[in-house]
Amino acid sequence: MIDDVVKLFRELDSKDIRILTGIEIGMKYFEWVPVEELFKYTRLPYSSLEYKLRKLVKNNMVIGTNQPYEGYQIYFDGYDTLALNTFVKRGSISAIGDEIGVGKESVVHEAVKEPELGLGESQGVILKFHREGRTSFKNVRRLRSHLEDKEHFSWIYAARLAAKREAEIIRELYPDVCVPKLLDNNRHALVMDVAKGTLLYRTKLHEPEWFLEEILRQVGLVYKKGYIHSDLSEYNIFVSEGGVQFIDWPQYVQTSHPHSTELLERDVSNVLKHFMRKYKIQRNLSDVLASIKSEL
C-alpha cells in the first residue's frame, strides 16, 4: 500500500535509503543481492544493517531469502520510496495524497508540488507509478528457490522502461497534442499535470458532435507526428469545456510499426463505438481513417 510508503517515508532515514539504493544497484548483478555487498556498499556495522534490513522486510520494502545465502530484492514499496525520495529532493512533489486510480499496470496518486522559489500557490499534480511485470513478480515468492531463473524480477526493468517510454512520448507530443504536461520522471514513476475535466466514459456531453470531431482531430495530430496511441478509448480520454486530453501512453507505437494500421483502426473504432452507443452518432470507420491518413 502506497499510504504505508508515505507514512514510512517520514520514518526512513538516509541509511535506509542507502540500503534500498544498494539493493537496487546490486539487482543489476545479482538476483538476490548478498548481504555482504550491502555491507560493502553502505559501510554500516553488521548489527545495524541487519536490524534495518529486518525492518525493511517487515515493512514490505524488500524481500529476503536465506537460501542458499542471505540476499535481498527490492519490493514495489521500496522502489516507490526511492522514486518518491528523488521527486521530493528535486522539488517535483512535496506531498502525496489519495490514490485516484489503480490500473492494470499502474497506481496513480494525487500529489502536491510547491511553487518554484516559493512564489505563487502550490499545485495539484499526478504521480503515476508503473507496475508492469507485477504478475511475474507475484511468482517470486513461489519461485524463490529457483535462483537461476532471471525472469522473475524483470518487473523493475519492465516498469522502468514503460515509464521512460511514456515520459518520452508525452514530451514529444506536448504541447502540439493535448496531453497533460510531463513534470518529472524517475525510475518507474512520472509526475504530470492533472488532466482537465473528467474521463469521457463518466460524463454525458452536451455537444457530443464537437467532442467527437476534436478527439479525431487529436488522433490525426498524433498520427501526423508519427505515432498511434494504441490503447485509446473512453477510459483514456479526458473531456473538459476547453477540449480533450489523452492519457496513458506507454503502449504507443510509431506509424512505421508493422501493425500500425490495425492499431489505428482499433483506436478510432473504440471512439466511434462509444459515440454511437451513448449519443447515436454514426460515422463511417473507413472514411474517418482515410481522412486521418490523408492529412499527412
Residues marked active site are found at 231
Among 163, 216, 244, 247, binds ligand ATP (CB under 6 A): 247
Q: In this structure, what C-alpha cell is assigned to residue 233?
A: 478509448
Q: CA 156 → CA 27, 117, 187, 282, distances in Å?
A: 9, 34, 9, 44
In sequence order, the 6+-apart residues with CB closer than 8 A to the CB of 202 are: none
Neighbouring CB atoms inside 10 A of 229's CB total 28
The answer to whether 239 contacts ligand ATP (rule: CB under 6 A) is no
Q: Contacts with Mg ion in 97-136 (CB under 5 A)? A: 103
Site map 176..215 versus ligand ATP, x via CB under 6 A:
----x-----------x-xx---x----------------
The DSSP code for 149 is: -
Q: Which of 81, 92, 233, 236 binds Mg ion (CB under 5 A)?
A: 236
Report the C-alpha gap between 194 and 238 in whole angstroms: 10
Q: Which residue is nearest to ligand ATP (CB)?
A: 103
Part of the chain binding ligand ATP (CB under 6 A), chosen from 37-45, 103-111, 156-164, 283-291: 103-111
Question: What is the side-by-side strand order in the sheet with 106-113?
Answer: 95-102, 106-113, 123-130, 189-193, 182-186
Contacts to Mg ion by CB under 5 A: 103, 236, 248
Contacts to ligand ATP by CB under 6 A: 100-101, 103-106, 108, 126, 128, 180, 192, 194-195, 199, 235-236, 247-248
